[in-house]
């Protein structure tokens, strides 16, 4: 690699010296040609860049060569780089006078030979810059590799020192005795291979026990001394009351979900009073205040047009029979209110109010049977009542 680098440098020196040797006698011309001035400025700038790169490459090469070569070899390398710099500068300086040549066959006011010589110098300088950059990269890479290798060697040479075992948080919290020290606390009792040790209680157990003591003292003061908090008996009563309130709310919700399939007859006086209120507000106009019947049928006898059980009444009130003058009340009354008023109507059976309307519909018997409302059936029913 070193031979290749030196050969390249020498070739560069020779190539850079060509313009100076090709000048010949100094012609008589001015330096006013713009193309010549431009090329000279570019060549001069590239020469300065080559010089700076040469200095940097020298610094990098000095570190590398210090470990591999003697001081004499270093001096030779330095002289080679300096010769390269001087030759490049000389090539740049020698090309300037060539711009003054004036021949009829010219390029931009310059003779073709002068133009090509300047371009060759320019190309050689660019190649030299790339060459120096490549060498700089190579030297820096080699130096970095050696430094890395040296660091690894030093780390391997350091005496290995085993690290102290790190206790995890569980071991620190429990503070167990090491296994190798268990013989010091062995009580000599062995039960099927399980040895009894005189070990201290784990801190987590002790701290939990201390916490229960503190909690008991605080609870005793608050619940039984200052009465700032309810006792366990009081908490039980509060919980029972809360459960009953939740149950009532749930039952209320279930009542609101009642329909013609789930309704049952209500006999509670409170619920019947609610049904009476609904009846007096909405039903007495057609059926009378006592259920004796006005426009609508009599509600106190055993004869019903659309069925007489509680489910039939609920359905009649809810959906109505508009074609017979009975409107639907499902939009005005809630399911609970319909169930209450249906139960209230059932409670009117047998009250025999004055001015009761004649029988309509079919006879309804509470056990679930019914008979047609013809004259024979009516006569039989009347004779039965008379016999009783």
pLDDT tens digits, residue range 336-365? 899 999 999 999 998 999 989 999 999 988
Which of 149, 168, 188 delimits the end of a domain?
A: 149
Comparing 114-123, 213-222, 298-307, 317-326, the range with the smallest average pLDDT is: 114-123
Q: What is the pLDDT of residue 82?
A: 47
Output the six-digit token pair for 224: 């039984």
Cβ neighbour number for residue 288 with a 10 Å cutoff? 20
pLDDT at 228: 87
Domain region containing 341: 269-387
> Lowest mean pLDDT: which of 54-63, 169-178, 201-210, 315-324?
169-178
Q: Does residue 234 belong to any structural domain of this protein? A: no
Q: Which of 149, 180, 204 corresponds to the end of one domain?
A: 149
Q: Give the end of a domain, one of 125, 149, 173.
A: 149
357 vs 154, higher pLDDT:
357
| Three-state secondary structure call for residue 197 | strand
Instruction: State both tokens at 288.
Output: 């009378």
Of 350 and 249, more confident: 350
Q: Is 189 helix (H, G, I), strand (E, B) or coil?
A: strand
CATH number of the domain encompassing residue 329: 1.10.760.10
- Residue 384's Cβ-count burial label (10 Å; 0-12, 13-18, 19+) is exposed
**Which token pair is 84?**
């390269």
Min mean pLDDT across 134-148, 233-247, 303-317, 333-347 is at 134-148
Residue 121 CA, chain-centre distance (Å), reads 65
**pLDDT at position 214:** 95
What's the structural domain count of the chain? 2
Q: In angstroms, rounded to a whole number, what is the distance separating the alpha carbons of residues 24 and 94?
A: 11
User: How far is C-alpha 332 from the geometric centre of its chain's CA atoms?
Assistant: 50
Q: What is the pLDDT of residue 132?
A: 79
User: Across all residues in the chain, what is the average pLDDT?
Assistant: 74
């Amino acid at each position: 690699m070193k031979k290749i680098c030196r050969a390249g440098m020498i070739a560069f020196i020779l190539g850079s010296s060509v313009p100076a040797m090709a000048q010949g006698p100094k012609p008589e011309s001015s330096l006013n040609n713009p193309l010549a001035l431009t090329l000279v400025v570019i060549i001069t700038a590239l020469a300065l860049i080559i010089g700076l790169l040469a200095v940097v490459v020298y610094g990098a090469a000095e570190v590398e060569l210090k470990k591999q070569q003697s001081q004499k070899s270093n001096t030779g390398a330095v002289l080679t780089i300096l010769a390269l710099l001087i030759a490049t500068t000389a090539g740049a300086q020698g090309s300037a006078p060539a711009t003054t040549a004036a021949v009829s066959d010219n390029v931009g006011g310059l003779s073709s030979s002068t133009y090509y010589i300047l371009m060759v110098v320019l190309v050689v300088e660019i190649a030299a810059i790339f060459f120096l950059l490549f060498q700089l990269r190579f030297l820096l890479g080699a130096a970095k590799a050696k430094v890395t290798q040296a660091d690894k060697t030093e780390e391997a040479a350091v005496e290995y020192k085993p690290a102290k075992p790190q206790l995890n948080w569980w071991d620190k919290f429990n503070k167990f005795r090491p296994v190798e020290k268990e013989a010091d606390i062995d009580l000599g009792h062995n039960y099927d291979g399980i040895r009894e040790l005189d070990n201290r209680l784990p801190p987590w157990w002790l701290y939990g026990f201390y916490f229960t003591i503190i909690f008991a003292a605080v609870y005793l003061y608050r619940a039984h001394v200052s009465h700032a908090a309810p006792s366990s008996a009081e908490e039980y009563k509060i919980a029972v009351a809360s459960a009953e309130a939740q149950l009532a709310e749930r039952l209320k919700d279930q009542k609101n979900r009642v329909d013609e399939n789930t309704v049952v007859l209500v006999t509670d006086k409170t619920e019947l009073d609610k049904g009476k209120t609904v009846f007096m507000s909405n039903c007495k106009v057609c059926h009378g205040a006592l259920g004796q019947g006005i426009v609508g049928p009599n509600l106190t006898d055993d004869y019903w047009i659309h069925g007489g059980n509680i489910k039939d009444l609920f359905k009649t009130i809810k959906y109505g029979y508009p074609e017979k003058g009975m409107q639907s009340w499902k939009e005005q009354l809630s399911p609970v209110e319909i169930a209450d008023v249906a139960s209230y109507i059932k409670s009117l059976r047998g009250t025999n109010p004055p001015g009761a309307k004649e029988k309509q519909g079919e006879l309804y018997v509470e056990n679930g049977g019914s008979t047609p409302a013809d004259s024979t059936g009516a006569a039989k029913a009347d004779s039965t009542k008379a016999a009783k």
